[in-house]
Amino acid sequence: MSHLHLVDGVLEPVWWVLGYAITLGILGIAVTKVRKVELAKKVPFIGVISALMLITMSIPLGFLPVHLNLTVLAGILAGPWLGFIGVFIVNLILALIGHGGITAVGLNTLIIGVEVFAGSFVYKLLVNRIKPVKASIISVVIALLLSTSLMLGMLAAVNANWEHALSHGDGHTSILHEGEPLEIGFFALSGWSAFVVILLSGIMLEALVTALVVRFFMKVRPEMVI
Amino acid sequence: MNTIIKVKCLKHIYPDKTEVDICGLDFIVNKGDRVVILGPNGTGKTTLLSHILGILKPVDGQISVFGVNPFKEFKHIRKKIGVVFQNVDEQIIGPTVYDDIAFSLRNAGMSKELVRDKVYDIAKTLEIEDILGKIPHYLSGGQKKKVALAGALSMSPELLIMDEPFDGLDPKSKKEMIELINALNRDRGVTTIITTHDVNIVTYIADLIYIINKGRIVSSGDPEEIFKQSDVLKEANLEPPILIQLFDRLAKKGYNVNIPIDIDQAEEEIYRLINAQKCC
Amino acid sequence: MDIAYIDQLSNNGGGCLNKASAISKILMTVCIIVSVILCENVTELAVIFAVLLLLIVVNKMPLGKILHIAAYPVFFSLLFALMRFSYSVEMGFVVLLKGANAAVAMILLMVTTPYPLIFSFLRLFLPGVVVDGLLFTYRTFFILLDKLQKALTVIKLRGGFRPFNIIFNVKNLAGVIGVLFIHAFDMSERMYNIYSLRGYEGRLVLESKWYGLKKWDCIPLGIGIIILALVVVL
């Protein structure tokens, strides 16, 4: 739940073009990696992983405006490369139905892709040293904090860029000089704190569900998570 | 006789380490046969089919399909076999019914025109021309089974394998499916292997029945022979078809009746009985 | 999830856009999204939005339902708009309308064009594995969604869902998700087996004609080009 569903038209083209370029580059590497190991067999698996991510997103959780992603779980189960392809597919399908801009697919994939990579890496590192359930919690927290920082950093950069353009009287945004900035500081502040609360509860929730599912696998199919 | 399948004492180990020995009698299928594998759920019917299809690799035992080992020569046998699995949803890949029927044809590299002709031909046989443009997940259970069957038939297979094809079908769809399977056997000479636990259908679709129980093939024979073996059936948690049970009771009460295996024979028997009563 | 509904509309709609070829609608969507990116004028953006709404109505699509699908992305635009509202109301609306326009344009494409056509078009830009993965995702999505919905209904019927107790729900959910994952993985294995039997060797061959222009194509092409031209000129 650390992605923001960036919308079209908010980002400077240079950002989303760069996002697409990096994503397609990683996708290219991922495809070559996958191709080495029985491609035909992996394609249905990619489909299943992506479908599972899409589906867990649609599970109603009650009153909180968050949804599960289970990207780290996907990374643990499918490995980083297949997981990354899955994340791209999920973002593309979401963008096609208007959930997140089509121009933002590259950036969104990168942000969530970080979860898959960091999650599976940390999990692999820890799983032989501590219990898988604990390893999964730590992986989720680290992965989601990373992706959240990446997202916030990116937003800050985008925003700084935008304000920079503004203060230099950029042609497109000069309209702003006509009016006084509105006094909605308090609202913006409470908006941000609400946002942080939602983010943190999202991370906790994701960690909890991932841990519970890993515990479930340990009981019935331990070979899937070890 | 032209034997196309021969299976002898297969041993299989599942991922959860459960071992299954599909042993007992040999499983033999000849060209043109209508074979039914009858048995309760979870006794190894699907496992046996998966081995015949070359999907599973046996740990031990002998298996030959069209004269070759199916696991080793998967590509060779798959062109001769059409298959409809129990869960047809997982089998249908095409975004539309047309695309799904065309799937194998396109994989085989056929021209667009040939694909279209074949798809329409099969759709006509199965009477699904009106749903060719539809997307699979909005179809009814019976329609989905027909689409899966159409996909299986697209490459004109010599052998048609269906795993529990009547599960979840309403009586009308069941009847249609029976007629279809028999027509394929009669008109196109397709050998059929069908698994089921529904004894009441068996007599309509089988020349040869294998009863499988707890992994073992415990009996084989034509329907008449099989349904006389009430001990074997009971052991496998099966009961003879209701018609046979009824005539069995009449026979035990001293009526001079032959045990019928389908409704037509039963009708004749009843007429005979009534006429015999009338005349004396 | 609205995917099933979108799929239903795209396959069964009989409006003028449904009759046009995929490529012209894709071009229209690209034109609109480029316009949205370029345009910083609230009136122009509002006009584009009005044109999109008009297209939905003319095409006999359910306006309410499409706007409902678009509400989610608009909510996210609102977050970005909030940052801009602190400078000017107009700037806020610009962001809001940009998000809404792009989302509605995208949804309009999806509700009028069956997905295999769009995925086939994407084959031009994406690795084959990814496009095949997209198709598999689409197919398995419906199968798994059905399973999940049944499981959730069972949970609710058996008293396992409390609207205000998220921890309680999550515990029960995790079990369902676990089962769903295992079922899904086994299913992917079975699907691979079945498709191999049906001749699949690592590439899904679909005959999807997304190109080839028809007379109906002048509508989306015309609208797309006019919008883009006006945004660039004005």
DSSP string, chain A: -----PPTTTS-HHHHHHHHHHHHHHHHHHHHHHHHTTHHHHHHHHHHHHHHHHHHHT---SSSS-----HHHHHHHHHHHHHHHHHHHHHHHHHHTTSS-STTHHHHHHHHHHHHHHHHHHHHHHHTTS-HHHHHHHHHHHHHHHHHHHHHHHHHHHHHHHHHHHHTT-GGGGGGGGSPPP--HHHHHHHHHHHHHHHHHHHHHHHHHHHHHHHHHHHH-GGGT-
User: Does C70 lie in the same domain as C10?
Assistant: yes
Mean per-residue pLDDT, A93-107: 86
User: Does C152 lie in the same domain as C68?
Assistant: no
- Classify residue A94: in a domain, yes or no: yes
> Does pLDDT of B186 surpass 80?
yes
Q: Are B96 and C114 inside 8 Å of each other by CB?
A: yes
Select from B108, B135, B151 the Cβ nearest to the Cβ of C11: B135
User: Does C106 lie in the same domain as C149?
Assistant: no
pLDDT attached to residue A179: 36
| ipTM score for this prediction | 0.88
Size of interface A-C (CB pairs under 8 A): 263
Q: Are B95 and C193 inside 8 Å of each other by CB?
A: no
Chain B contacts to C (CB-CB under 8 A): 50, 53, 55, 74, 78-79, 81, 83, 85, 87, 89-96, 99, 102-104, 106-108, 112, 115, 133-138, 151-152, 155
Q: Which chain C residue has its CA at the smallest distance from A85's CA?
A: C130
> Does pLDDT of A3 surpass 60?
no
- Classify residue C112: in a domain, yes or no: yes
Chain segment B3-17, per-residue pLDDT in tens:
999 998 888 887 777
- Lowest model confidence (mean pLDDT) among B38-42, C10-14, C100-104: C10-14
Q: Are B55 and C206 inside 8 Å of each other by CB?
A: no
Select from C116, C197, C206 the Cβ nearest to the Cβ of B83: C197
Lookup result for tokens 């979870």: B42
Looking at residue B34, the DSSP 8-state letter turns out to be E
User: Does C214 lie in the same domain as C100?
Assistant: yes
Helices within chain B (DSSP H only):
45-52, 74-78, 97-107, 112-125, 141-153, 171-188, 199-205, 223-228, 230-235, 242-252, 263-279
Lookup result for tokens 């089998």: B91
Mean per-residue pLDDT, C37-66: 90
Select from B53, B106, B137 the Cβ nearest to the Cβ of C197: B53
DSSP SS3 for A175 = helix
User: Does C148 lie in the same domain as C34?
Assistant: no
The chains found to touch B (3+ Cβ pairs under 8 angstroms) are C
Gyration radius from chain B CA atoms: 20
**Smallest Cα distance from C173 to chain B, Å:** 24
- Classify residue C44: in a domain, yes or no: yes
- Classify residue C122: in a domain, yes or no: no
User: Does C133 lie in the same domain as C113?
Assistant: no
Lookup result for tokens 């019914």: B97
Type of residue at A189? L
Q: Which chain B residue has its CA at the smallest distance from C145's CA?
A: B137
- Classify residue A171: in a domain, yes or no: yes
Residue with the larger pLDDT of the pair A139 and C80: A139
Residue with the larger pLDDT of the pair A180 and C79: C79
pLDDT attached to residue B207: 92
Chain C residues with beta carbon closer than 8 angstroms to that of B112 = 207
Select from C86, C102, C204 the Cβ nearest to the Cβ of A184: C86
- Classify residue A31: in a domain, yes or no: yes
DSSP SS3 for B216 = strand
**Smallest Cα distance from C65 to chain A, Å:** 13
pLDDT attached to residue A172: 37
Residue with the larger pLDDT of the pair B262 and B272: B272
Mean per-residue pLDDT, B213-220: 87
pLDDT attached to residue C51: 93
Chain C residues with beta carbon closer than 8 angstroms to that of A215 = 174
Chain A residues with beta carbon closer than 8 angstroms to that of C169 = 61-62
pTM: 0.84
User: Does C152 lie in the same domain as C113?
Assistant: no
CATH number assigned to the domain comprising residue A188: 1.10.1760.20
Q: Which of B43, B21, B142, B42 has the alpha carbon at shortest distance from B84?
A: B142
**Smallest Cα distance from B258 to chain C, Å:** 44
Residue with the larger pLDDT of the pair C204 and C58: C58
Count up the domains in chain C and report the number: 2
Select from C39, C129, C177 the Cβ nearest to the Cβ of A209: C177
Chain segment B73-100, per-residue pLDDT in tens:
888 888 899 999 888 888 888 878 898 8
User: Does C135 lie in the same domain as C102?
Assistant: no
Confidence band of C158 (pLDDT split at 50, 70, 90): confident
pLDDT attached to residue A34: 79
Q: Which chain C residue has its CA at the smallest distance from B107's CA?
A: C199
Confidence band of C12 (pLDDT split at 50, 70, 90): confident
Confidence band of A90 (pLDDT split at 50, 70, 90): very high
% of chain C exceeding 70 in pLDDT: 96
User: Does C105 lie in the same domain as C44?
Assistant: yes
pLDDT attached to residue A213: 92
User: Does C144 lie in the same domain as C70?
Assistant: no
Q: Are B55 and C195 inside 8 Å of each other by CB?
A: no
**Smallest Cα distance from C47 to chain B, Å:** 36
Count up the domains in chain A and report the number: 1
Select from C114, C197, C199 the Cβ nearest to the Cβ of B95: C114
pLDDT attached to residue C221: 87
pLDDT attached to residue A84: 94
- Classify residue A116: in a domain, yes or no: yes
Domain of residue A154, residue span: 13-224
- Measured torsion, CA atoms of residues C163, C164, C166, C167, in degrees rounded to the nearest 10: -120
> Does pLDDT of A46 surpass 50?
yes
Pair A75, A142: CB distance under 8 Å: no
DSSP SS3 for B6 = strand
Chain C contacts to B (CB-CB under 8 A): 4, 7-8, 11, 114-116, 135-136, 138-139, 142-143, 187, 190-191, 193-201, 204-207
- Average per-residue pLDDT for chain C: 84
Domain of residue C183, residue span: 128-197
DSSP SS3 for B27 = strand
> Does pLDDT of C81 surpass 80?
no
Mean per-residue pLDDT, A200-217: 89
- Classify residue A4: in a domain, yes or no: no
Among B103, B134, B147, B163, the strongest candidate for a mutation testing the C interface, having the largest count of C CBs within 10 A, is B103
User: Does C227 lie in the same domain as C138?
Assistant: no
**Smallest Cα distance from B91 to chain C, Å:** 6
pLDDT attached to residue A65: 63
Mean per-residue pLDDT, A7-24: 85
CA–CA separation, C114 vs B138, rounded Å? 14
- Classify residue C226: in a domain, yes or no: yes
Chain segment A47-83, per-residue pLDDT in tens:
999 999 988 887 766 656 667 888 999 999 999 999 9
- Classify residue C203: in a domain, yes or no: no
User: Does C38 lie in the same domain as C59?
Assistant: yes
Mean per-residue pLDDT, B178-192: 92
Chain C residues with beta carbon closer than 8 angstroms to that of A97 = 2-3, 6, 69, 106-107, 110
Among B47, B135, B153, B161, the strongest candidate for a mutation testing the C interface, having the largest count of C CBs within 10 A, is B135
Pair B134, B96: CB distance under 8 Å: yes
